[in-house]
Structure 1
Amino acid sequence: MSSNWLDGSMMDVLAFGWMLVLWFVYGRFADKLPGDEVAPANLNQMMHQLRRQWMRRMLDRPERILDSSLTGHSVSATTFFASTSMLVIAGLLGVLGRAADAHAVVQSFGFTVLSSELLFELKVLGLIGLFMVGFYKFTWALRQFNFACTLIGAAPLPPVTGPSRDRFADHAARVMSLAVVSFNGGIRSYYFAMAWLGWFIHPLAFAAGTSAVVLVLLKRQVRSRSQSSVAEFYEATGR
């Protein structure tokens, strides 16, 4: 902390509060799935609508091997990140077990702000908490992808027409999109963990890093080249 303990403590609290606010606000923006009557506002919402088209077209195929294979790739990626989260948590617990030594190393850097060992331990605990959130998000996403696989396997054979076609596509796409929402939440915890590392340098570095992370994520959702390409295809298919 600084020479004034109260000023340093307040900066830490404000930086942490700023992270929580941005985490919640961005999550509400990125994770909300649109209804049929609402135009997509970001890349995630457009992808949900495209999944509905995917599920409709799947009903025209007597064989769903391709669809199961595509879903399996998502399952594999989710499993990888869930396992990685556990490894990171184990490593951070090791750091926490030798907190005094780790604190001394961090404080020896010339660019870090002075802080107590207790505050250092709290920062490490918070970092562990972020990866725990990621782990639970990934494991829940994994279960939901398995639910989506079951829906694909139970899909009625063609020809499927009328309201039942749209009803199945809506339910299957929503389950898959909810799995992606959980997966994205896990990935987001990694991004915020990168910003959290700035807290070991200075609370302002933490706040600035959090802001930068959200700006990057926001740009990817509404102004990236991927978003532009998906939006053009979405418009071309007549929604």
Structure 2
Amino acid sequence: MSPLLFAHWTWPDGLALLWMLVLWFVYGRFADHLPPDDVKPSNLNQMMHHLRRAWMRRMLDREERIIDSSLTGHSVSATTFFASTSMLIIAGLLGVLGNAGAAHDVIQSFGFVARSSVVLFEIQILGLVILFIVAFYKFTWALRQFNFACTLIGAAPAAPVEPALRDRFADHAARVMSLAVVSFNGGIRAYYFAMAWLGWFIHPIAFAATTSIVVLVLLKRQVKSRSQQSVAEYYDAAWR
């Protein structure tokens, strides 16, 4: 590695970046794991996977499935919006990177920002670009998987459906939809961590703190939010 590249790279910078990567990986493993049918879900995302399976079973009992296609279409529209937004953000960040010297001077004029080099500032901006590239790829893969789910809904067998085929279809259709949601959530998660990344412009300790706060907020929404409690109460009542 070039000494010039990391002329002002300190060990707090490295530790804060490592802390973010570790938390991103660990939280992703927790939030994105899809449990088997016989395992009780431990977070909101896992409960929603079981509910999607129930949704697909209910769908097979209906002759008209316009509402199911419409609900999936809303997810496609939201995913397309975020994918397009990610591209606009990437373009804006590349513009900042192209004029890093002037942007660095503006940031350094703030009294609460720690002193840093232009090279470190460019690395920080480049890191944001990478985060939004990850988000873009997550959203576009989610978009494709939602289209796969739409195809499965269109190809669903007509009612009445044999129980074995019903369960098999529901399992596979729900998994495709849940995998699409996992990709979508991964893109949204990149946005959250990009917000935490802004703390690095202030100080590495602020970066580590904002990353921790973001993960705590995400964890609370998964296991202790009012939405999670409402879904959990319905889940326990329906599958007791």
Q: TM-score, normalised by structure 1?
A: 0.96
1:150-171 alpha-carbon deviations (Å, 9 max, x no partner): 0000000000122111000000
For 1:228, the aligned partner's letter is Q
**Which residue number corresponds to residue 20 of structure 2?**
19
Number of aligned pairs?
235
**Which residue number corresponds to residue 75 of structure 1?**
76
In structure 2, what is the Cα distance between the partners aligned to 1:238 and 1:152? 24
For residues 107-186 of structure 1, the aligned pairs below 5 Å read 107-186=108-187
For 2:146, the aligned partner's letter is F
- Structure 1 residue 122 displacement after superposition: 0.3
- Structure 1 residue 36 displacement after superposition: 1.1
Residues 9 and 120 in structure 2, CA contact (< 8 A), matched pair in contact too: no
1:107-135 alpha-carbon deviations (Å, 9 max, x no partner): 11110001111000000000000000000
In structure 1, what is the Cα distance between the partners aligned to 2:163 and 2:103? 64
- Structure 1 residue 37 displacement after superposition: 1.6
In structure 1, what is the Cα distance between the partners aligned to 2:216 and 2:201? 21
Cα 1:86–1:94 shift into 2, 3 Å = same
- Structure 1 residue 8 displacement after superposition: 5.9
Unaligned runs of 5+ in 1: none
For 2:56, the aligned partner's letter is M
For 2:212, the aligned partner's letter is S
**Which residue number corresponds to residue 205 of structure 1?**
206
Unaligned runs of 5+ in 2: 1-5
Cα 1:19–1:185 shift into 2, 3 Å = same
In structure 1, what is the Cα distance between the partners aligned to 2:190 and 2:8? 28
1:92 matched to 2:109: no
Residues 8 and 116 in structure 2, CA contact (< 8 A), matched pair in contact too: no
Q: TM-score, normalised by structure 2?
A: 0.96
- Structure 1 residue 63 displacement after superposition: 1.1
- Over the matched positions of the two proteins, sequence identity in percent amounts to 77
For 1:183, the aligned partner's letter is F
In structure 2, what is the Cα distance between the partners aligned to 1:44 and 1:6? 43
For 1:110, the aligned partner's letter is G
For 1:189, the aligned partner's letter is A
In structure 1, what is the Cα distance between the partners aligned to 2:135 and 2:9? 29
For residues 54-65 of structure 1, the aligned pairs below 5 Å read 54-65=55-66
In structure 1, what is the Cα distance between the partners aligned to 2:211 and 2:106? 24
In structure 2, what is the Cα distance between the partners aligned to 1:105 and 1:43? 42
SS at match of 1:61: coil
In structure 1, what is the Cα distance between the partners aligned to 2:99 and 2:239? 59
SS at match of 1:114: coil
